[in-house]
Chain A
């Protein structure tokens, strides 16, 4: 998804503020979270990929301004509503009763056609065996997928269609692009790929910068023939 969450390389954000105050929304969102309940949400509570994707789908202005916990809560509300545990109207009514303002920006944007999540992790953690051999060896030159996908992925937009070198292999892991949508764990081989700064950012890139990303095999194609 080409969402607001995919922030790598975006410009205009200014200096990193190190003494940042969280926005004063706590009273409002504390109110919204009142009564939210994750149990019975079809096991979605155990699916970190699904949760990440829910956060990616919150209202973009909320994503940029509500802070870490505001994003977290927006994602939580999306999952609860999509799982049919509560509906938006009830949550909003309750929040207003508890003192929320009707003008507050609501982060959650539950889908009218949500994925059905019924997830029981196959094992603890995220590592999995993969029957296929890893396609790439350390040192291999690879190019990343050129385009975005409509759903969840862990290939950032800034690294699409770029050439890099595999520097490490990490074996098999749960594949987020599949797992986030309830399509199964579909484990894939994971690699660290190094990209020269100029490859990512062109002539204006800072000197002597290498960006490393951890990328799943389906994101990569071989350039070595």
Chain B
């Protein structure tokens, strides 16, 4: 049974004209992973949502503290929190191990610039 999709209030994703807005392809991938894994029963959607709410809550508190001290409010980047919530959940459930994730990130960073990745608009071939 597919968990009912709900992300509202502080946890709501950016929307425009009724559509999800992704500024970059990786955001769509993050969304697809988080939702897709829940649909496959690997975790409950609410578990992800709770982590996302906690993540955003922590950001809000830190931002408030910075502003109270006279600093500039940090920019809110929704999908970075989304991704971090996903990572937190995956590590908590021992689906991913921090070490292997770190190694993979490092390996990908070593790739030459301009490497390609097939997505969305590459459909005229």
Binding site for B on A (CB under 8 A): 33-39, 48, 51-52, 55, 68-69, 71-73, 75-76
Contact with A along B82-125 (1 / 0, CB 8 A): 00000000000000000000000000000111111110001011
Considering only CB atoms and an 8 Å cut-off, how many residues of chain B contact the other chain? 11
By the criterion CB–CB under 8 Å, are B125 and A55 in contact? yes
Contacts A69-B118, A72-B118, A73-B118 known; A37 to B125 CB distance under 8 Å?
A: no
Contacts A52-B125, A75-B125 known; A37 to B114 CB distance under 8 Å?
A: yes
Count how many pairs of residues, one from A and one from B, have CB atoms less than 8 Å apart in the complex: 34
Question: How far apart are A72's CB and chain B's nearest CB, in angstroms?
Answer: 5
By the criterion CB–CB under 8 Å, are A38 and B125 in contact? no
Contacts A33-B116, A36-B116 known; A72 to B111 CB distance under 8 Å?
A: no
Cβ contacts under 8 Å, B111 to chain A: 34-35, 37
Cβ contacts under 8 Å, A73 to chain B: 118
A-B contact pairs, 30 of them (CB 8 A): A33-B115, A33-B116, A33-B117, A34-B111, A35-B111, A35-B112, A35-B115, A36-B115, A36-B116, A37-B111, A37-B113, A37-B114, A37-B115, A38-B114, A38-B115, A38-B116, A39-B112, A39-B113, A39-B114, A48-B124, A48-B125, A51-B125, A52-B125, A55-B125, A68-B118, A72-B118, A72-B122, A73-B118, A75-B125, A76-B116
Select the residue from B112, B117, B122 with max chain A CB neighbours within 10 A. Answer: B112
Question: Nearest CB to that of B117 among chain A residues?
Answer: A33
Query: 8 other contacts beyond A33-B115, A36-B115, with CB at 8 A cut-off?
Result: A33-B117, A36-B116, A37-B113, A38-B114, A38-B115, A72-B118, A72-B122, A73-B118
Question: Nearest CB to that of B124 among chain A residues?
Answer: A48
The 6 closest A-B pairs by CB, nearest first: A39-B114, A37-B112, A69-B118, A72-B118, A52-B125, A37-B115
